[in-house]
Amino acid sequence: EAQEEARGVALNGLPALSRALESCQRCDLCRYATQSVPGIGPDHAPLMLVGEQPGDQEDLQGKPFVGPAGQVLDRVLSAVGIERSEVYLTNAVKHFKFVSKGRRRIHQTPGRTEIVACSPWLDQEIRLVQPKLIVTLGATALQAVEGRVSRLGALRGHVRDGSATRPPSLATIHPSYLLRLPEPLRAQEEEQRFMQELSAARDWL
């Protein structure tokens, strides 16, 4: 039923999709998050980048990738010559999942239930935007787009063929992975590799 609801609103385009998302109760995350965070970008962007879920800042501001991971993403995108404004940016899960520790809110990885519950929204975004290529950032986005768990390590850097209903997709890491690497040299190497993988996406613009 909720899927039909998502399908129905999608007929009216991305703004209607965002409005419908505001009252989404498809899983429990809506009870604790400040707001849902819809995707952002041009209607028919050739590239769609899919992240995991809003973080603390995204939850407060209602926009994707405006926090620390977004800064890494911006840096890497501009280094490979992709304008943020020419891509459609969204997340596999539209509400922030966290646990409270004092005044801090600690990110929690969304589980299969939340990814599956949220998938009609992503499906509709894909149908409306019709990107030439989807870039999945990290394991959660990969799982959401593929519909099953696959090993990111084995798939990263590769473009997976599309189907009648799905554009081709390129798997790479999530930018926050770079923020978690304690070794500066290793982080630098991984950032280089992330750049290489993202630069392949530029050919689809």
Interface ranges with ligand URA (CB under 6 A): 51-55, 58, 64-65, 67, 69-70, 91, 176
Measured from the CB atom, is 3 or 108 closer to ligand URA?
108
Residue nearest to ligand URA (CB): 51
Measured from the CB atom, is 27 or 69 closer to ligand URA?
69
Least distance CB 91 / ligand URA (angstroms): 5
Measured from the CB atom, is 126 or 185 closer to ligand URA?
126
Q: How far is CA 159 from CA 77, 139, 141, 153, 164, in A?
A: 18, 15, 14, 14, 16
Measured from the CB atom, is 160 or 174 closer to ligand URA?
174
Least distance CB 11 / ligand URA (angstroms): 26
d(CA 190, CA 198): 12
Is the CB of residue 178 less than 8 Å from the CB of residue 191? yes
Is the CB of residue 28 less than 8 Å from the CB of residue 39? no
CA angle 50/42/191 to nearest 5° reads: 40
Least distance CB 51 / ligand URA (angstroms): 3
d(CA 147, CA 11): 23
Least distance CB 1 / ligand URA (angstroms): 28
